[in-house]
A and B are shown apart, each in its own frame.
Chain A
C-alpha cells in the first residue's frame, strides 16, 4: 500500500500570487518601430514579464497579465522605445 502524506510542497506555476498585472499604475508600451531588438528589456525585467517572440525570438512583447509596471524596461531602453502610460 502506497502511503500519502499531506506536505507543504509547492509546485511551479505562473502567477504564484495571482495576476500581478493588477498591481500596475503605469503600463509599459513598446513602440515596435523604434525597437532595435537589443533585448536589454528582456534581460532586466524582474518579473519575467517580457516575452521573446517571433521566429528568431528577437521581438519583445509585454506580458500584461503579470507586468507590475515597475518601469525598468522603459528606463533602460537605449532607444527610448518604451513609454510608461498611466493605467485607465
Chain B
C-alpha cells in the first residue's frame, strides 16, 4: 500500500481524486476558479495517467448534458463548475437529480454576478439544494480529495443512485496548496464499485429497449418524486457507511453528516459550512481560553440535511449562531433557515451573514460572533434579523 503526501491545491486535490476514482467520461467547461481542475485532468488524460474520454464541451449546459448521456450508458462521469457556469447548466442539474443519473460534480463556490466576482460565496450551490443532488461542503483540501472519492461510491450505491456535488471554496481551498494525503490506487479500486457494473437507473441498451424520462401524467408523477425523496433518505446511511469504510482505509473517518468541535459541553454553538469552519474552530479554542463556553458544528452535508444531528447537538444549548456565506434576499441566511427548522424553536437561533463575495471571515470575526452570542444568551435576548459581519455601513449614508 502506497500512501503519498503531496502539496496540492483544492483544485488539484479534486483532479487527483477523479484520477484515482477512474472516472471514465469528463466533460467540463472552464470557469474561474475551477479551471485548474479541468486543466489538470486534461494533463492526466493526455499524459496517459488517466484512461478517460475527455470532452471539451462548448458550454456548461453541454457539460452536464454530456455527463447525463455518459451516465445513462453506465459510465462513471465527472464535471466541475462554479457560479455562472452552475446557473447556466441549472436546467440539467435538475435533470440529473430528478432523473437519478449518478455522477460527481465539483463546484468551486463563487459569488454570482452582477457585479462580477471570482471569490467565494455559497449561493451558487445553495440555489441547487432542492434538486436531488447529495451535497457536501469541504473544509480543507484533504476533505476535498476524500469527499470526491467517497462521492463516486455514494452516487453509484444501489440504495441511492443520485448525483453528488462536492463544494470547495474559491481560492481559499481551490488555489491554496496544503499537504494532502493520497490513498493507494488499489485501495480506491476496492472502495469503489467496479467500472461498468452499474445497471441503474436504467442503461441504454438496444437489447433491452426502453424510453427514459418521458411524459408522466399527474396520476403517475408524484411517485417519481417520492423515489428521489426516499433515495435521499437512504443516502444518510450510505454516506455514513462509506465514510466509515473510507476511514478504515485512510484513518480519516467521515462517518457522520456533521462534525462537532468542543460542542458537547458548550452553552453556545456556532454552525457553519465550508472552509471558514476551520477558522471557527481556532476561534472556539481562543474563546474557551477566555472562559467562554462555545463550540462549533460543521455541516458536512447540506443534502440530505442533518435534521436529527442538529437537533441532538443543539439540545440543551442556550443559543445557536448560524454563519451563512450566502443570503436569500427577502429572507435571511439559507443555512440559518434550515437549521432553525431543525431546532424548531427549542433553542434561540441567531443568523450571521459573512464573507460574501470572498471577503475574509477571520478568526477575530468568529471570536466576536462567539462573544456576541454568549452575551445574548446571558442577557436572555431574543434573536434579531441577520447580523452582517464586517459590513461597511458608512457606504449607506
Residues of A within 8 A of B (CB): 2-3, 5-12
B159 and A8 form a contact (CB under 8 A): no
B226 CB to nearest A CB, Å: 8
- The reply to whether the CB of B210 lies closer than 8 angstroms to some CB of chain A is yes
B212 CB to nearest A CB, Å: 6
B210 and A10 form a contact (CB under 8 A): yes
**Which of A3, A6, A10, A11 touches B159 (beta carbons < 8 Å)?**
A3
> Which residues from B are CB-within-8-Å of A10?
210-212, 214
A9 and B210 form a contact (CB under 8 A): yes
Name which residue of chain A comes closest to B231, CB basis.
A5
> Which residues from B are CB-within-8-Å of A9?
201-202, 210-212
- The contact string, 1 if C-beta is below 8 Å from chain A, for chain B 155-185, is 0001101000000000000000000000000
Those of B214-232 within 8 Å (CB) of chain A = 214, 216, 223-224, 226-227, 231
Residues of B within 8 A of A (CB): 99-100, 158-159, 161, 200-202, 209-214, 216, 223-224, 226-227, 231
Q: Could you tell me the distance between the alpha carbons of A2 and B100 in the complex, rounded to whole angstroms? A: 17
By Cβ-Cβ distance, the 8 closest A-B pairs, closest first, are: A10-B211, A3-B158, A6-B227, A9-B210, A7-B201, A9-B202, A10-B214, A8-B213
A6 CB to nearest B CB, Å: 4
Interface of A, helix, strand, loop or mixed by DSSP: loop
> Which residues from A are CB-within-8-Å of B231?
5
> Which residues from B are CB-within-8-Å of A7?
100, 201-202, 212, 224, 227
Q: Could you tell me the distance between the alpha carbons of A10 and B209 in the complex, rounded to whole angstroms? A: 9
> Which residues from A are CB-within-8-Å of B211?
9-10
24 CB contacts below 8 A, A to B, read A5-B100, A5-B161, A5-B200, A5-B201, A5-B227, A5-B231, A6-B223, A6-B224, A6-B226, A6-B227, A7-B201, A7-B212, A8-B216, A8-B224, A9-B210, A9-B211, A9-B212, A10-B210, A10-B212, A10-B214, A11-B209, A11-B210, A12-B209, A12-B210
Q: Could you tell me the distance between the alpha carbons of A11 and B208 in the complex, rounded to whole angstroms? A: 9
Name which residue of chain A comes closest to B157, CB basis.
A3
Name which residue of chain A comes closest to B208, CB basis.
A11
Starting from the known contacts A3-B158, A9-B211, A10-B211, 18 additional A-B residue pairs (CB-CB under 8 Å) come to: A2-B158, A5-B201, A5-B227, A6-B224, A6-B227, A7-B100, A7-B202, A7-B212, A7-B227, A8-B99, A8-B212, A8-B224, A9-B201, A9-B212, A10-B212, A10-B214, A11-B210, A12-B210
Q: Could you tell me the distance between the alpha carbons of A5 and B231 in the complex, rounded to whole angstroms? A: 9
B95 CB to nearest A CB, Å: 12
> Which residues from A are CB-within-8-Å of B224?
6-8
A48 CB to nearest B CB, Å: 16
> Which residues from A are CB-within-8-Å of B213?
8
> Which residues from A are CB-within-8-Å of B202?
7, 9
Q: Could you tell me the distance between the alpha carbons of A88 and B7 in the complex, rounded to whole angstroms? A: 83
Q: Could you tell me the distance between the alpha carbons of A11 and B210 in the complex, rounded to whole angstroms? A: 5
> Which residues from A are CB-within-8-Å of B100?
5, 7
> Which residues from B are CB-within-8-Å of A5?
100, 161, 200-201, 227, 231
Q: Could you tell me the distance between the alpha carbons of A5 and B210 in the complex, rounded to whole angstroms? A: 15
